[in-house]
Structure 1
Amino acid sequence: VLAVCWRAECCQFKIFLDLNPRWASVNRGVLICDECCSVHRSLGRHSSQVRHLTHTPWPPTQLQMVQTLYSNGANSIWEHSLLDPASVMSGKRKANPQDKLHPNKSEFIKAKYQMLAFVHRMPCREDDSSATKDLSKQLHSSVRTGNLETCLRLLSLGAQANFFHPEKGNTPLHVAAKAGQVSQAELLTVYGADPGALDSNGKTPIDYAREAGQHDLADRLVEIQYELTDRLAFYLCGRKPDHKNGQHFIVPQMADSSLDLSELAKAAKKKLQSLSNHLFEELAMDVYDEVDRRETDAVWLATQNHSTLVTETTVVPFLPVNPEYSSTRNQGRQKLARFNAHEFATLVIDILSDAKRRQQGSSIASPKDNVELILKSVPVRHCSDSQDNDQPDYDSVASDEDTDQEVPSSKGDRTKSLDSDLSDSPVTMQEYMEVKHALSASEAKIQQLMKANNNLSDELRLMQKKLQSLQSENTSLRRQVTTNIYQIPSGSDYPDPSSPSALKRRQSARASRPMSMYETGSGLKPYLPKGETPYPEEGIPTLQPFPPHVSKTFLSLGNRSRCLAVILVIISLCRRGRLRSSGWLGEGSSIPELDDLEMESDPTLPSTEDVIRKTEQITKNIQELLRAAQENKHESFIPCSERIHVAVTEMAALFPKKPRSETVRGSLRLLTSSAYRLQNECRKALPSDGCQGPDMQLVTQQVIQCAYDIAKAAKQLVTITTKENTN
């Protein structure tokens, strides 16, 4: 394969045979020369995964995949628009062979592979997710064939390698494995397809391959599944585990592992072990990228003509910035280059050890795995050790405030070489006392949490009683109002309600608006004529105590959920402001929130009835959302949030675009922004493909907070319009 004269990207610049391509970009399916390789490496592995054709060990099937892509014109995918004759008229062109590497050729390569400036673009759609889904379905169908370039084109347009087909119940990698398409499986895994993904029947692509008799493909998928830890182990000891015989991990040991660990090293190791699976995976991926950078640097320095080429195309001193990562993570990735060979080897060993512990659920490394001994004089495999460690030349990256999740969280490991397994050493009295104190502190914390939980339970019961009392009071006031309408004392300034004119006015006013749920207690019963039976007590809705299996979950949501319930009741009581404005309540009656509100009169504000009617819709949907949170029905979050957003939009449309009052403007801003945030938080309740599930307790707390803000804003708008209409 390598003896064949392949035309590489550099050959597009018409470079002669003395610069034949010796490198390949695995994920782009092209071959490149030394000169272009330096630019590809500076893009980062997220843009171009560079490997040497002869000095780097290749899986044969992966090398065959790259050869097939190149032979079938994969380069035309990345230069699609340049092949259009119209591109000459628009000024688009390739770099000329006479152009300098910097800036001409380097800018062209960056535009081509990093910015994807010349890739075919699909017609613009309003729904990008629908377009991505269509492309992913096409990919799902195409991988059963041997047409690699079609699948690469779909992936370049945004098709998802881990797409789960809702009708078929599996992923593209399942289909490729069943069809025995080895090259398609290699391409999909290069773009992130998971060999351990489960189909609707709980089977993995490895199972599909074995059932189809594709045992070599199944063994290759197992290797890909352990690619990260295999690469780290090979970097240290030059060996890979024997997966066919059930050995999946090699955890080397340092030669000085018998030395006592420093306190800083112990703390670093504990911090590494305490990371969540998601953060640990991010750290492991960053270390994997650093291993790739160091190994490629070593090959680069060993194969260059140092008298000419290296002067212009030097090594990559640290990992390039990945725009998809946070600035904190990018800074941590760059700091990995400051680790010397011994420090970096220690970090790699700790990651291998903890990866095995997390996979197998055991912290004890078996003697069979610790067969490799890493000497203290680990060879320097990169040039970054010679740099000034006090002031490295980092990329300009903005700093985040949150430094708790900084990637090199185990950099304390560099103080001493660490044993990959602490359990082999005898337990000292000091360690025993530390564990004992930690257990005592944990027990005290548990008791404290249980006490707080009981207090919250008592508080919730009191709040429920208060809410029932307020509902009863509200019902009594409505009955009193209904009675006073027909029993006005003599000498009153009000006209006789039995007079035809007064009755006609009441019926006309009542017919001009819908009945409010706050007005009747149920939203279904109209005003009753004098002499009819008032509302029965059982018609008044009451808040029932939460079931035992719900109480603990609901209590964990915090005080916002309980405050929200109170706000919903207060909104209903704002109806009294309308009653007072009609003279139905005595002058001594007062609503403090209305009395304290100072605002300029604004005749453009909507009527109180319209605002309350829209508020009813909002609060009804918020109550449904709260019930879903109490019952852990997280799949109902998104439908509830969409209904709340529609109700909020309708309520905001009642108000003028630019209200006079700053109070109104602030309440509207809080209402609409909280509804938007609620939708975003509810979307987090759905697990993403290939990622760890969300922290549902945190998501639920944020959802409750957003619902609280929406109810608060709605209450403010009801209060404002009631005050305005009263004045």
Structure 2
Amino acid sequence: MSKRLRSSDVCADCSGPDPSWASVNRGTFICDECCSVHRSLGRHISQVRHLKHTPWPPTLLQMVETLYNNGANSIWEHSLLDPASIMSGRRKANPQDKVHPNKAEFIRAKYQMLAFVHRLPCRDDDSVTAKDLSKQLHSSVRTGNLETCLRLLSLGAQANFFHPEKGSTPLHVASKAGQILQAELLAVYGADPGTQDSSGKTPVDYARQGGHHELAERLVEIQYELTDRLAFYLCGRKPDHKNGQHFIIPQMADRRLSLDVSELAKAAKKKLQSLSNHLFEELAMDVYDEVDRRETDAVWLATQNHSTLVTETTVVPFLPVNPEYSSTRNQGRQKLARFNAHEFATLVIDILSDAKRRQQGSPLSRSKDNVELILRTVSNQHSTESQDNDQPDYDSVASDEDTDVETRASKASRQKSLDSDLSDGPVTVQDFMEVRSALVASEAKIQQLMKASRLEKQNSTPESDYDNTPYDTEPDDTVPNRKGRQRSVVWPGDGSLPDTAEPHLVPSPTLPSTEDVIRKTEQITKNIQELLRAAQENTHDSYIPCSERIHVAVTEMAALFPKKPKSDTVRTSLRLLTSSAYRLQSECRKALPGDASLPTDVQLVTQQVIQCAYDIAKAAKQLVTITTKENNN
């Protein structure tokens, strides 16, 4: 970071010292507490990145630094600079204010409601105003004055505006002038590097024609930003665009899991292929946003003091609602948070594969397969006729709702190759016997692990009390922390799975003290910090000892609770806590040198390790919240 930046290094929202995050589209730097509010707003309001722990294209970071140092924050706080605002009692937040409600209310007013930006005089025709602003933007991007362009964009200028007289967009003008930082700003606001002007040339063409090679290469990267980000999420690599490689399709870490050839899995993939380009782009953008949410959560966990994990400032359980999208699309976006690491990786790989196919113009798979897909769809049509035909088709790909028979069974078939603790969703009759056998085998393995634990004498709580106890009810999807709840087991035609716990036990209403739960949670999250630091430093040999310490801490915390908690929410959180700890150990073993299950790219294992660690911290936090609420009643 530059010396100039450090000289004015304060949070844009509360003036606190040493901000460690950036809001890219707002051109501001913000502190941890204010960032927690930004994250809850959604990327359509604020696109946050950590200044040190998130990879940055150099010119993108330079663009944000330039805006930050040249007063971009005054755009969003324009009216607060008026002395009359001070007289009226209106003020910005300060470092001592509480996050909720003080800082949160101010930040929402500032960025979501745009309550303090400069307002243009009212005119009868808003479209004329937007057109005038866009023409000014078209002219301004040939200069280096980023603040002017950000101000125009904040007022409603369109980054993809096609000038009727000039026959080009602002990005064409910036590229011709070699203004790489203007190009970065326009791209953040949605400018398309692939747009052709009236002469049929793209911004990339003009950058190359003008000898602006760095800009030309960066524009190509921006053009493939979505698929590059998805590939990097899974394997830690990006395509070599300079040499004509524009896609990387990662492979699953475990060959067994990559050979998912069930008919329903094929059908789900073909349904993805059958989407129109428009709906496919929507799904890809939604998955991109979910990748951003998960990666930001991982960075957040790695950078926060462990004691802050039990506060409300860290909770972003699923993608926030974007009011510009339909309710159906927003629901589909939020359902992406339910996918475990393997399911989500499978979806990402399918999207990357189909994006490559669509760009290269490759045909769909054999007509025979498509006929089979149509027949299968027709056979299931009676179960979906009540759904609205105008809803995006992709919702069934990214959903596990009970009304979607095909997707539900496909998810079950993908889950059954994992440990049993991931297979607690509704399953089809066809999969019942195989899944149940796997559960029994896994339960025996879990019992062996429990016996091997050095804390066995202190802990008489078998994992099955939390992990395989079925429920009859499904939690309401509208509950804010829905992401943290795994789906209940519904065994078709056969009651429930045998419970290895003592049959005479009855549900106990007694919960441990909040202080004990917080103390154990801090122990868990401190160990998670060590694991995440190992992941950042690529010291994979530390994974197993870290995971063992986390497992011990989780076992101690689970032992605080009664064997048969009365509350379903407590049992759900305990199941997530303990099952995630076992899954974490399994994933960490894959990083051992010489292990037969070691993938080509250990980055995928690392991502799954991070996801498991996040699930553990999330479940612990839920238990703190529950016990606090119950003990205060």
Identity of aligned residues (%): 81
Task: Give the Cα separation in 2 of the matches to 1:266 and 1:342.
Answer: 17
Task: Give the Cα separation in 2 of the matches to 1:185 and 1:321.
Answer: 28
Q: 1:270 to 1:14 in 2, by over 3 A?
A: closer
Mapping of 1:198-277 within 5 angstroms? 198-254=196-252, 255-256=255-256, 259=259, 261-277=261-277
Task: Give the Cα separation in 1 of the matches to 2:310 and 2:152.
Answer: 37
Mapping of 1:59-138 within 5 angstroms? 59-138=57-136
Structure 2 SS opposite 1:24: strand
* 2:293 equivalent in structure 1: 293
Contact 2:279 2:392 (C-alpha < 8 Å) held by counterparts: no
Aligned equivalent of 2:192, options 178, 194, 206: 194
Shift of 1:92: 2.1
Shift of 1:189: 0.2
Mapping of 1:336-415 within 5 angstroms? 336-362=336-362, 402-405=390-393, 407=395, 409-411=397-399, 412=407, 414-415=411-412
Task: Give the Cα separation in 2 of the matches to 1:42 and 1:120.
Answer: 25
Mapping of 1:521-540 within 5 angstroms? none
Partner amino acid, structure 2, of 1:21: P
* 2:45 equivalent in structure 1: 47
Q: 1:251 to 1:6 in 2, by over 3 A?
A: farther
Structure 1 SS opposite 2:29: strand
Q: 1:272 to 1:69 in 2, by over 3 A?
A: same
Q: Provide the aligned C-alpha RMSD in A.
A: 2.1
Q: 1:316 to 1:7 in 2, by over 3 A?
A: farther
What do the CA deviations read for 1:493-515 (whole angstroms, capped 9, x no partner)? xxxxxxxxxxxxxxxxxxxxxxx
Shift of 1:5: 2.1
* 2:142 equivalent in structure 1: 144
Partner amino acid, structure 2, of 1:13: C
Structure 1 SS opposite 2:158: coil
Q: 1:325 to 1:147 in 2, by over 3 A?
A: same
Contact 1:265 1:415 (C-alpha < 8 Å) held by counterparts: no
Task: Give the Cα separation in 2 of the matches to 1:278 and 1:11.
Answer: 37
Q: 1:11 to 1:266 in 2, by over 3 A?
A: closer
Structure 2 SS opposite 1:47: coil
Larger Cα Rg: Structure 1 or Structure 2?
1
Q: Which moved more, 1:301-310 or 1:222-231?
A: 301-310
* 1:306 equivalent in structure 2: 306
Task: Give the Cα separation in 2 of the matches to 1:404 and 1:210.
Answer: 39
Structure 2 SS opposite 1:5: helix
Residue 35 of structure 1 pairs with residue 45 of structure 2? no
Task: Give the Cα separation in 1 of the matches to 2:285 and 2:227.
Answer: 10
What do the CA deviations read for 1:460-485 (whole angstroms, capped 9, x no partner)? xxxxxxxxxxxxxxxxxxxxxxxxxx
Task: Give the Cα separation in 1 of the matches to 2:49 and 2:197.
Answer: 33
Contact 1:209 1:217 (C-alpha < 8 Å) held by counterparts: yes
Structure 2 SS opposite 1:146: coil
Task: Give the Cα separation in 2 of the matches to 1:402 and 1:207.
Answer: 39
Task: Give the Cα separation in 1 of the matches to 2:31 and 2:141.
Answer: 30
Mapping of 1:582-593 within 5 angstroms? none
Q: 1:11 to 1:356 in 2, by over 3 A?
A: closer
Q: 1:404 to 1:225 in 2, by over 3 A?
A: closer
What do the CA deviations read for 1:334-388 (whole angstroms, capped 9, x no partner)? 00000000000000000000000100012599xxxxxxxxxxxxxxxxxxxxxxx
Task: Give the Cα separation in 2 of the matches to 1:343 and 1:8.
Answer: 41
Q: If the length of structure 2 is used for normalisation, what is the TM-score?
A: 0.58
Structure 1 SS opposite 2:65: helix
* 2:170 equivalent in structure 1: 172
Q: 1:143 to 1:156 in 2, by over 3 A?
A: same
Shift of 1:256: 2.8
Task: Give the Cα separation in 2 of the matches to 1:344 and 1:134.
Answer: 44
Shift of 1:68: 0.2
Shift of 1:94: 1.3
Mapping of 1:319-338 within 5 angstroms? 319-338=319-338
Q: 1:341 to 1:143 in 2, by over 3 A?
A: same
Task: Give the Cα separation in 1 of the matches to 2:235 and 2:309.
Answer: 31
Structure 2 SS opposite 1:307: helix
Structure 1 SS opposite 2:283: helix
Contact 2:332 2:398 (C-alpha < 8 Å) held by counterparts: no
Contact 2:224 2:246 (C-alpha < 8 Å) held by counterparts: yes
Contact 2:335 2:398 (C-alpha < 8 Å) held by counterparts: no
Structure 2 SS opposite 1:56: coil
Task: Give the Cα separation in 1 of the matches to 2:414 and 2:350.
Answer: 10
Contact 1:328 1:406 (C-alpha < 8 Å) held by counterparts: no
Contact 1:196 1:205 (C-alpha < 8 Å) held by counterparts: yes
Structure 2 SS opposite 1:249: coil
| Structure 1 unpaired stretches of 5+ | 366-398, 419-727
* 2:6 equivalent in structure 1: 5
Q: 1:80 to 1:401 in 2, by over 3 A?
A: farther
Contact 1:30 1:75 (C-alpha < 8 Å) held by counterparts: yes
Structure 2 SS opposite 1:407: helix
Greater RCO (CA < 8 Å, at least 6 residues apart) = 2
Contact 1:9 1:30 (C-alpha < 8 Å) held by counterparts: no
Shift of 1:84: 1.1
| Structure 2 unpaired stretches of 5+ | 366-386, 400-406, 416-633
Structure 2 SS opposite 1:31: strand
Shift of 1:134: 0.2
Contact 2:260 2:414 (C-alpha < 8 Å) held by counterparts: no
Shift of 1:416: 4.4
What do the CA deviations read for 1:6-60 (whole angstroms, capped 9, x no partner)? 5456366343x4xx11100000000011111100000000000000011011000
Shift of 1:98: 2.8
Task: Give the Cα separation in 1 of the matches to 2:297 and 2:166.
Answer: 44
Partner amino acid, structure 2, of 1:276: S
Shift of 1:99: 1.9
What do the CA deviations read for 1:659-708 (whole angstroms, capped 9, x no partner)? xxxxxxxxxxxxxxxxxxxxxxxxxxxxxxxxxxxxxxxxxxxxxxxxxx
Partner amino acid, structure 2, of 1:414: K
Task: Give the Cα separation in 1 of the matches to 2:413 and 2:329.
Answer: 24
Shift of 1:329: 0.4
What do the CA deviations read for 1:315-349 (whole angstroms, capped 9, x no partner)? 31100000000011001000000000000000000
Task: Give the Cα separation in 2 of the matches to 1:325 and 1:190.
Answer: 19
* 2:610 equivalent in structure 1: none
Aligned equivalent of 1:156, options 137, 150, 154: 154
Task: Give the Cα separation in 2 of the matches to 1:95 and 1:136.
Answer: 33
Task: Give the Cα separation in 1 of the matches to 2:92 and 2:302.
Answer: 30
Shift of 1:196: 0.2
Aligned length: 382
Q: If the length of structure 1 is used for normalisation, what is the TM-score?
A: 0.51
Contact 2:275 2:394 (C-alpha < 8 Å) held by counterparts: no
Contact 1:162 1:172 (C-alpha < 8 Å) held by counterparts: yes
Task: Give the Cα separation in 1 of the matches to 2:388 and 2:98.
Answer: 37
Task: Give the Cα separation in 2 of the matches to 1:157 and 1:174.
Answer: 21
Q: 1:272 to 1:38 in 2, by over 3 A?
A: same
Contact 2:328 2:392 (C-alpha < 8 Å) held by counterparts: no
Shift of 1:267: 1.6
What do the CA deviations read for 1:112-136 (whole angstroms, capped 9, x no partner)? 0111111111111110000000000
Q: Which moved more, 1:400-409 or 1:199-208?
A: 400-409
Shift of 1:91: 3.5
Task: Give the Cα separation in 2 of the matches to 1:76 and 1:122.
Answer: 16
Partner amino acid, structure 2, of 1:405: D
Contact 1:8 1:32 (C-alpha < 8 Å) held by counterparts: no
Q: Which moved more, 1:54-63 or 1:257-266?
A: 257-266
* 2:56 equivalent in structure 1: 58
Task: Give the Cα separation in 2 of the matches to 1:161 and 1:403.
Answer: 29
Q: 1:230 to 1:417 in 2, by over 3 A?
A: farther
Shift of 1:311: 1.8
Contact 1:22 1:52 (C-alpha < 8 Å) held by counterparts: yes
What do the CA deviations read for 1:593-636 (whole angstroms, capped 9, x no partner)? xxxxxxxxxxxxxxxxxxxxxxxxxxxxxxxxxxxxxxxxxxxx
Contact 1:328 1:400 (C-alpha < 8 Å) held by counterparts: no
Structure 2 SS opposite 1:297: helix
